[in-house]
Amino acid sequence: MRHLLDTKTLSREDALRILDVAEDMADAQQREVKKLPALRGKTVVNLFFEDSTRTRISFEAAAKRLSADVINFSAKGSSVSKGESLQDTAQTLQAMGADAVVIRHGASGAPRTLATSGWITGSVLNAGDGTHEHPTQALLDAYSMRKRRYGADSRGRDLEGFRVTVVGDILHSRVARSNVWLLNTLGAEVTLVGPPTLIPQDVTAWPARILFDLDEAIADGPDALMMLRIQLERMNAAYFPNEREYTRTWGLDADRLAALPADSIVMHPGPMNRGLEISADAADSPRSTVLEQVANGVSVRMAALYLLLAGERNEKEDAR
């Protein structure tokens, strides 16, 4: 693997390898091995053209825990605001010796452009591009599901038969797209639920079942219910029912939480619109994996950086 651009083309073997190495990384952290020497001398650049809390900070934490040097670049306050192009920005980073570029960009396909352009020689990791993909989010979601299902005995296992229902603003969600492809690769069964205006036209080509009634989806007893953020900043007013109607029809509240099977988990990639797509009862319940997902994100991003930058070196030796 040279780059991590999407989950649509990620093989089952590579996906399981990332999840298994993430387990090794998590084990090392639990043994108080806070810093591994694996990427000493490497430079990781976080190139963020859109806002982020979880992804940017966890990529930074992941790189530092592997002893890499980290450069954080935010488009706000940079020469991008003077009109500098992606090409010139990328070539500037190349001149500074970036071994990996983690990019978040509002344009779908920007990470692939960077990876195939020849502007940089290092690895490219997609940290979210437009409405296209957010592969490390899907990987940390799959890791969190696998841990809840198999506990300490997760290594090498897929999600065959695991039933995941993804709810809400599917239209604008790169998280939904990356999850659909990865969960399908890992053998899970995916259902998408939302208002018809927030379901994309091409969804019939996705390996997922579509429902428009959240209560019907909950009565179906999913193993995981993944609530998506309503992306108000990308919303055309014509698409969206008013907020109160949305919450009543597609929001997860205490009654719907109680209607889920006792062992179902509640997921959200964050940031959450509390009181809109998810109530505080649901977000803070013991069945919520929201903070587990954040913590697991560091291990998964350590694994991705390690596999891209340290190649075939033995990760277990580095974790000792």
Minimum CB distance to ligand CP, residue 109 (Å): 18
Minimum CB distance to ligand CP, residue 297 (Å): 8
| 201 appears as a binding residue in the annotation | no
Minimum CB distance to ligand CP, residue 50 (Å): 8
| Closest-CA residue to 138 (of 9, 278, 234, 259) | 9
Contact at 8 Å (CB) between 292 and 140?
A: no
Helix (H) or strand (E) run with residue 89 in it: helix 86-95
Residue 111 or 269 with smaller CB distance to ligand CP: 269
CA distances from 109 to 10, 112, 134, 158, 180 (A): 16, 5, 11, 28, 18
Using rule CB under 6 A, residue 271 touches ligand CP: yes
Out of 43, 55, 126, 165, the only residue in the binding site for ligand CP (CB under 6 A) is 55
Q: Which stretch binds ligand CP (CB under 6 A): 107-115, 238-246, 266-274, 276-284?
A: 266-274
Minimum CB distance to ligand CP, residue 128 (Å): 6
Using rule CB under 6 A, residue 179 touches ligand CP: no
Q: Which stretch binds ligand CP (CB under 6 A): 36-44, 179-187, 249-257, 265-273?
A: 265-273
Separation between Cα atoms, residue 47 and residue 61, nearest integer Å? 15
Out of 231, 270, 287, 292, the only residue in the binding site for ligand CP (CB under 6 A) is 270
| 105 appears as a binding residue in the annotation | no
Using rule CB under 6 A, residue 52 touches ligand CP: yes
Minimum CB distance to ligand CP, residue 312 (Å): 29
- Residue nearest ligand CP by beta-carbon distance: 55
Neighbours of 107 (CB within 10 A): 14
| 191 appears as a binding residue in the annotation | no
Minimum CB distance to ligand CP, residue 296 (Å): 12
Residues 6 or more apart whose CB falls under 8 angstroms from that of 88 comprise none
Local structure of residue 119 (DSSP, 8 states): S
Using rule CB under 6 A, residue 234 touches ligand CP: no
Residues 6 or more apart whose CB falls under 8 angstroms from that of 123 comprise 2, 3, 4, 99, 100, 101, 308, 309
| 89 appears as a binding residue in the annotation | no
3-state secondary structure of 193: strand
Contact positions with ligand CP (CB under 6 A) in 96-155: 128, 137
- Angle at the Cα of 35 (from 53 to 319), degrees rounded to 5? 115
Contact at 8 Å (CB) between 135 and 5?
A: yes
Out of 11, 53, 116, 197, the only residue in the binding site for ligand CP (CB under 6 A) is 53
Residues 6 or more apart whose CB falls under 8 angstroms from that of 126 comprise 4, 5, 6, 103, 111, 133, 134, 135, 136
Q: Which stretch binds ligand CP (CB under 6 A): 50-58, 80-88, 161-169, 197-205?
A: 50-58
Sheet harboring 123-129: ordered strands across?
Answer: 69-74, 43-48, 100-105, 123-129
Q: Which residue do the tokens 């990427």 mark?
A: 39
Minimum CB distance to ligand CP, residue 295 (Å): 13
Sequence ranges of the binding site for L-aspartate: 82, 174, 229
Sequence ranges of the binding site for carbamoyl phosphate: 54-55, 104, 134, 137, 270-271
Contact footprint for ligand CP (CB under 6 A): 52-55, 128, 137, 269-271
Sequence ranges of the binding site: 54-55, 82, 104, 134, 137, 174, 229, 270-271
